Amino acid sequence: MSKGIVIDPITRIEGHLSISIDVASHQIVQAHSKGEMFRGFEVILKGRNPLDAQQITQRICGVCPVSHGMASILAQDQAYGIHLPENGRLLRNLILGANYIQSHIIHFYHLAALDFVDIAAIAQYQGQDPALQDLKSWLRAQGKTQALYPAAPFLPRYEGAYLQDTELNLIAIRHYLEALEMRALAQKMGALFSGKMPHVASLVPGGVTEKVTAQNIGAYRSMLHKLRAFIDHHYLPDVVAVAKAFPDYFRIGRGPANFMAYGVFPESNQDDRRLFPSGVLINGQLGDFDPMLITEDPTHAFYQGADELAPTRGETKPWPKKEGAYTWLKAPRYGGQVVEVGPLARMLVAYHRDQPASVRPLIDRLLGELNLTTGDLMSTMGRHAARALECKVVADRCAEWVDALRPGEPSCSAFTIPAKAVGVGITEAPRGALGHWLEIDNGKVDRYQCVVPTTWNCSPRDRRDQPGAVEQALVGTPIADEKNPIEATRVVRSFDPCIACAVH
């Protein structure tokens, strides 16, 4: 006999997500992922000037707006037949790279780490570190009693097994505070070329409006140097420390074990080479990515229609009282298959393609240190490890891109908007594969469809009753205490869900 548990809301994620699980013999046997709102960006865009798209779609999310802006201008680049100048390509990569770095840092330290770190360890702290002493004083000031009683953002949370090593807890808490500064620094770094962060102003079809100057190059280099040091000396070691303390999570949260990456960070304006290549891993076999195999299934979503439609024919017609529906997320599928997207998918595809050359040695070194195989990465802890390694690869490559900028040379190409055109913007947000599909008629947006990372990962069952990636990852997860299902939240947060994006 199973017992139903509803976790609503899942805290420390972006947006409103509810997870319903059935638990039998202290193990999850079934799960449903529920996005709980409708926004309608695709409807808002219809009839608008196409140049509004990259600004409006950035408002889908405040954490990864750059990715939506990038997908939108890539779709317009294709629709208008634009060829970018070299500075335009490099600036786009540098802006997106800064957004990746801040997103990965905030996910581990400020969203997910508190699933493992015992903030109560600060109560026993007797050292002289000013930041920790200030935090200790602040936490005590929030207390309802004389004992230390941590307040938001550290509560509410479930009780469970946290890090037992007091020193590791204190190090993690110290780095939590430093990560706040690092995230702000990454935002400032991106704003040098984007005008502002978030919701950047300089992304346009044809390139980037910001001019390249020696001053901005120097400032970006300086900030990036500090971020790379934090990633190498704090972020990566902290992930390894947590992984060693919670080795069971390399066997929990597997999911469908099918992965897809669109590819991101173009390395040339003449061909399709990208820092992270495109590809799919289906049943362990590496294959080429084919965008024509993407469909969205609304069977169990609060939308009209029952057919699996390609994004070029996609519809956004809400139906809040639809029988059999339980979420505002559609169910994207690749060739009918459930796939996982995100840093783990990108790193696994890169590992199998051996591109870029830095990925395989980094992964092999980590696996050797933890005595694991690549199969173990398909897990809750594997997602954290992949995200940290990717953060290093992106930051290191940003150092090369910024050196390749040429002050005084153009960063944007001229263009005209045709009366009729179509375009597809395929890229990767920090959380995974992102596509924008644009159709222009009479110079206006006639159809706009977004298929975003968390819609892939947190999707519902489809017409064949295949659960989505998160729903599959939850099944088999052990639940020690049904009143404190912390194990389930650890699995869900490892995907870094963004429900604001997913329901767009």
pLDDT digits (tens, 9 = 90+) for 49-59: 999 999 999 99
Which residue segment(s) compose the domain that 437 sits in? Answer: 3-118+162-503
* pLDDT beyond 60 at 149: no
Predicted confidence band at 150 (pLDDT cuts at 50, 70, 90)? low
Taking the C-alpha atoms of residue 488 and residue 118, their distance in angstroms, rounded to an integer, is 18
Is 287 part of any domain?
yes
* pLDDT beyond 60 at 143: no
Is 98 part of any domain?
yes
Dump pLDDT digits (tens) for 278-315: 999 999 999 999 999 999 999 999 999 878 999 999 99
- Average confidence (pLDDT) over 101-123: 91
Identify the bridge partners of residue 428 per DSSP, sorted by sequence position.
433
Specify the higher pLDDT residue, 128 or 32.
32
Of the candidates 432, 433, 416, 415, which has an alpha carbon nearest to the alpha carbon of residue 424?
A: 433
CATH number at residue 264: 1.10.645.10
**Prediction pTM value:** 0.95
Is 125 part of any domain?
no
Determine which of 267-271, 429-433, 434-438, 443-447 has the lowest per-residue pLDDT on average: 267-271
Of the candidates 143, 219, 159, 158, which has an alpha carbon nearest to the alpha carbon of residue 185?
A: 219
Is 149 part of any domain?
no
Contact 342, 391 (CB under 8 A): no
Is 138 part of any domain?
no
Is 360 part of any domain?
yes
* pLDDT beyond 60 at 156: yes
Is 124 part of any domain?
no
- Average confidence (pLDDT) over 163-176: 90
| Overall number of domains in the chain | 1
Of the candidates 306, 75, 56, 69, which has an alpha carbon nearest to the alpha carbon of residue 202?
A: 69
Triad 387, 433, 227: Cα angle to 5°: 35
Dump pLDDT digits (tens) for 482-491: 999 999 999 9
3-state secondary structure of 420: strand
Specify the higher pLDDT residue, 199 or 143.
199
Taking the C-alpha atoms of residue 28 and residue 34, their distance in angstroms, rounded to an integer, is 17
Dump pLDDT digits (tens) for 227-256: 999 999 999 999 999 999 999 999 999 999
Is 73 part of any domain?
yes
